[in-house]
Amino acid sequence: MSSLSANHLSLAPLGAGDLIDRAVRLYRRHLFVLIRTAAPPVIIGAAGWIVFSLSFRRVFWTYDQSELALYVFLCFLSLVVTFAGYLLTLVVMGGATRTLVAHLLRNDPVTARATYSAVRSRFWGLVGASLIVLVWISVSAFAAFIGWEIMAGILIFIIAFLASVTFYVVPVIFGTVGFIAATFLALWVFFFIVGRVAYVPQVMLVEGKGVFESFSRSFNLARGNVRRLMAMTLFTTFATYSALMILLVPLGWYGYLHGIDPLNATLWPAWYAITYNVLTPLSSILLTPVWMLGLSLLYVDERVRHEGYDIELMAARQLGELPNVDVTSPLGTALSSNERPLPPPTTPRPSSRILDLS
């Protein structure tokens, strides 16, 4: 990350390929530190998912009412734990961005302790903001899926009509192109909506703003970030599933040679199910830092594009951050202070006792 010091920041905005390349280079340079940073929330989510997969299978195998109630309760509890793992992942992303900006500004070391110390300073605010972001993502996914279903229904009607009046090659080609275009459009709509809140944790920890002010700030920053956010997400997703296949294919062959059907999860023995659910989050632990770095660099790049943030970082590094005076500015600071202001000193009350000097 030393090549990304404030003195070497480029004035030219970074494209999608440049962002991915820089995130991968940063990940390679700080591999073990970033894995330690990303591991705790991923492990929490993985533990919840393992318990859910085992409990859910037992729900259909038990006939005892008390055991059924226990497994249903474990399913619910494990889903809560899994959700908490995903929530904490968003929370840690804000701390990772602050660590990155602190390195750019003051050449601070990149450590997991620095990230979690920043998270601890605004923990409950980050949890609330991340919860709203997760709800926003869920609503966005539902809206994009409904739009895709509507377009798919229209395409199926047109394909059926073309099949009745033309040669079969025409509806096949039209259907293939149409479904690809509909999928791309649905993804674009999803990332367009989600991109509005992509920088909320980063704004809270880098600029020191409140929860609702951070949402407003993220909406203002997220202009024209759909293509780069989509490229970063698709790259991380494909890389994660590629790593997952490298881990799961040998397990599938081993299970198949021992009489286990890898495609029928209901008949898996306990050891195979546990191994499968341990290997699955392992790929996430390896690739989640790339996603964290990508969003952090995307936030910095948005401020470089709209506010000349690289110049502000260089000025703050040479001259020091501007004092926290009572001035309202539409732009965020280079790096806000995590220290809470001390309460004003209290003046002692005059004593009501009357001294007798006679």
Q: State the chain's mean pLDDT as an integer.
A: 78
pLDDT band at 315 (very low <50, low <70, confident <90, very high): low
Q: What is the pLDDT of residues 58-70, one digit of tens each?
A: 787 777 788 888 8
Q: According to the model, what pLDDT value does residue 6 have?
A: 40
**Whole-number pLDDT of residue 208:** 82
- Residue 190 pLDDT grade (very low, low, confident, very high; cuts 50, 70, 90): very high
Say how many domains are in the chain.
1
Q: Provide DSSP, 104-168.
A: HHH-----HHHHHHHHHHTHHHHHHHHHHHHHHHHHHHHHHHHHHHHHHHHHHHHHHHHHHHS-T
On whether residue 45 sits in a domain, the answer given is yes
Is 329 a domain residue? Answer: no
Residue 185's domain comprises 2-318
Q: In the 8-state DSSP scheme, what is residue 211?
A: H
Residue 352 domain-assigned (yes or no): no
Q: In the predicted model, what is the mean pLDDT of residues 88-102?
A: 82
User: What's the rounded mean pLDDT across residues 152-156?
Assistant: 90
- The reported pTM is 0.73
What span, in angstroms and rounded, lies between the C-alpha atoms of 75 and 54?
A: 9
Is position 119 within any domain?
A: yes
Question: What pLDDT score was predicted for residue 345?
Answer: 45
In a domain, 354, yes or no: no
The answer as to whether 351 is a domain residue is no
For residue 77, give every residue at least 6 positions away whose Cβ sits within 8 Å of its Cβ, in sequence order, or none: 51
Within-domain flag for 14: yes
Query: Is residue 154 in some structural domain?
Result: yes
